[in-house]
Amino acid sequence: MTRTILLDMDGVIVDFVKAACEAHGKPNPYEHGESGYDMPSKMGMTDVEFWGGDLATMWWWAELPWTADGAAILVAAKNFVSKDNIYLATSPTLAPGSCSGKLLWVQKNLPEYQRRLIIGPCKYLMARPDHILIDDSDANVTKFREAGGHAILVPRPWNSGIGDPIERVFDELRRIVQ
């Protein structure tokens, strides 16, 4: 069976958290024991304040850094399927420039994937028995599995995942593909 991997961007290969903290001049709440996904409230901001300013521009999104393990997670995926069977699946945010900025990021950092970029919040709609979602959101992983796909939760401070992210992705891919 040919497998397809759907690889999330923000929090998996792109370090949105670090860049958002820097943009707002706030400390990283996850380095101080916080968990969960609601960054605006963790930073003492409203949604409008958080998603405005630099985060509203496509240029901010285009310049986001890789996560420390993002390239290794992509390599792990390539160990199990051809690069032609890897798609970037990312959710839009409340920031107006996020969609176009994410495309610019892919064009700059992973140009071979610019025609394999899927932007949409309902990743579970892509679930099939031969599809594997790699994501940092507990909710996305749960919904994808419930819809009939395989999913791997990349351990991050804001989710319930445990262990080393690269080892977790590699081990789970090996389990699913074999």
Tell me the pLDDT tens digit for each residue of 27-37.
999 998 889 98
Query: What was the pLDDT predicted at 123?
Result: 98
Residues 157-166: what's their mean pLDDT?
96
Report d(CA 90, CA 3) in Å as an integer.
Answer: 19
Name the strands in the sheet holding 150-153, side by side, starting at the edge strand that comes first in the sequence: 117-119, 86-90, 4-7, 131-135, 150-153
Q: How far apart are the first and last CA of the chain?
A: 10
Classify 4-177 by CATH class.
alpha beta
**59-112: pLDDT as tens digits:** 999 999 999 999 999 999 999 999 999 999 999 998 999 999 999 999 999 999
Residue type, 111: P
Query: What was the pLDDT predicted at 117?
Result: 98
Average pLDDT value over all residues in the chain: 96
Axis crossing angle, helix 70-78 with helix 165-177, rounded to the nearest 10: 20
Q: Which residue has the tokens 């789970």?
A: 172
Percent of the chain with pLDDT over 90: 94
Find the largest Cα–Cα distance for the chain: 48
The number of beta carbons lying within 10 Å of the beta carbon of residue 126 is: 17
Res. 178: pLDDT tops 90? no
Burial class (CB in 10 A: 0-12, 13-18, 19+), 173: buried
Report d(CA 12, CA 153) in Å as an integer.
Answer: 10
Report d(CA 165, CA 106) in Å as an integer.
Answer: 22
Q: With the C-alpha atoms ordered 161, 164, 170, 171, is the resulting torsion angle positive or negative?
A: negative
Query: What was the pLDDT predicted at 1?
Result: 82
